[in-house]
Every structure is written in structure tokens, then in C-alpha cells.
Amino acid sequence: MSNSQDSGGVQSVDRAITVLELLARRGPSRVTEVADELGVHKSTAFRLLGALEARGLVEQDGDRGRYQLGFGIVRLAGAVTARMDLSRCARPVCERLAATLGETINVAVARDEHAVNIDQVQGTAAVAAQNWVGRATPLHATSSGKILLAYLPKTRRADLLRTAGLARFTPATLVTRTALERDLVGAVSRGYAQTIEEYEVGLNAIAAPVRDGRGDVVAAVSASGPAYRFTPDRMTECAPVLVAGADEISHGLGWLG
């Protein structure tokens, strides 16, 4: 892409954002008013409004020829609000879990074919723990990823795994669908998932589901630590505390279960 094409694209994005800000500030506006605000020809403003209308971000106000913000804005805002609600509800619980269990606590959500950690609290026993926030991690090889997979409809899970594949990260990674499906059934039965050195040698983790007001699993809260300390026996001991914490976050999001 040439520099002129790149500059033109950035300018179009900037103008589109300005249009949305204008409509938010002034309410329903005519094409000529938008054009005047942007300092562009009426035809340019009309094209911008048409592109935004096609995405549901603006809509025409009846027969008066005015444009106003569309319900597509509500959809985008809702996604941000949901994430903010999750972080707000999860943070104090995660801080308490980290203090109680002594291990690093993370909250992860599904993004495409990955689990992405959106918050982390370092445990009291953790020394130089990794910062997982913002990192995209594999669904099949992490405890949070397994939880996010386990509660998906089977067809959706199959599609995700077909796209993402089952890469081997350590000798313990589950790389067959049969083994993974068996493990996911166990996670649902227990109420939590576990990984024993499946993503990184020397790292163990457990994760429990976080549900929204409809009961859908929207996130996973995990506890992770070095294998020499966070042993399978210790993981089993910590699991009820983690599950209770995940349920508390879920109740904060409106879950009544």
C-alpha cells in the first residue's frame, strides 16, 4: 500500500469517528450539517454516513432526512460494558484468592482460537511470576482454555479445534481429540479443569468457569504455580476455593445458580 493510500485510509477512519462524535453531541443531523462540521463536500459526507449506516452505527431518523446514532453503537458499547463488569467483579475476588492460595490468579476470556488473560493478581508465594495479561494462549493446553472449550456446544468446539489445531508444547500436551474430549468431560464433571505441565514444563494450573446472568460461561479464573509447589495434590486441595471464587464472580455478573 502506498503512503497516499495509507493516509487516505487513516483520514477516512478519522472522519468516520468524527461523524459518530458529532451525532453523539448534537443528536440527529442532516448531511449538510455533517459536511459543514467535517469541512468536506456533501457527497463525501453522504458516503461516510452510508458506510456507517451499512454497519448499523448510524440510521436515518424517519422521513426527515436526518442521521442519528444506530443500535450498532449499543452492541459495541455492550461488549465494553460486559468486559468492564467482569473486571470490576473479578478483581477483589482474585486478590483474595491470590492471598488465600498463594498462587498467581488470572482471568481469561475466549478470543478467536485463543484464551486471552485480561487480569492477573500475583500470589504471595509467587516469585518473579510471568505477566500473562494480554497474552493469547492455546485453548487445548491451558486450564482456562479447557474451561472455555468444555462449555461450548460440540459443533462450535469442533470448529475451533479444527482451525486452531492441537499443537504440542510439552511432552504432556494433549494432542488428540479423543484425549482432549475425555479431559473436557472430566473438567465439567469436577467443576474445574487442570493442566499438568501441558503448556510449559514446570507449570501447573487449575481453572473454574465464570458465568454471566444467563448462565453462559464467559470467562475462566485460574490459579497457576510451579509444579514443584503446585502439585496435583495441592491443586485438588485448592480447587474448591477457586470454584467458590469463580461462583462469586458469576453472582456478581447476575448468575443465580
Which pLDDT score is estimated for 255? 87
Check whether 7 has a pLDDT greater than 60.
no
> What is the CA angle 65-71-73, rounded to 5?
105
Beta strands in 48-113 (DSSP E): 58-61, 66-69, 104-111
Query: CB of 117 within 8 A of CB of 132?
Result: yes
Enumerate residues 6+ apart whose C-beta is below 8 A from 119.
87, 90, 91, 94, 106, 107, 133
What CATH number labels 80-252?
A: 3.30.450.40
The overall pTM is greater than 0.85: no
Give the total residue count for the chain.
257
pLDDT band at 2 (very low <50, low <70, confident <90, very high): very low
Which pLDDT score is estimated for 127? 57
What are the phi and psi torsion angles at 198 (to 5°)?
-95, -25
d(CA 123, CA 129): 9
Which pLDDT score is estimated for 72? 79
pLDDT band at 8 (very low <50, low <70, confident <90, very high): low
Check whether 139 has a pLDDT greater than 80.
yes
Check whether 77 has a pLDDT greater than 80.
no
Q: Which residues of 56-77 are buried (b: 16+ CB within 10 A; e: fewer)?
A: ebbbeeeeeebbbbbebbeeee
Where, residue-wise, is CATH 3.30.450.40 in the chain?
80-252
Indicate the average pLDDT of the chain.
88
d(CA 60, CA 237): 59
Greater model confidence, 81 or 227: 227
Any idea which architecture 3-69 has in CATH? Orthogonal Bundle (1.10)
User: Closest by alpha carbon to 84, among 37, 121, 130, 119?
Assistant: 119
185-225 pLDDT, tens digit per residue, is 999 999 999 999 999 999 999 999 999 888 999 999 999 99
Query: CB of 220 within 8 A of CB of 143?
Result: yes
How many CB atoms are closer than 10 A to CB 133?
13
Where, residue-wise, is CATH 1.10.10.10 in the chain?
3-69
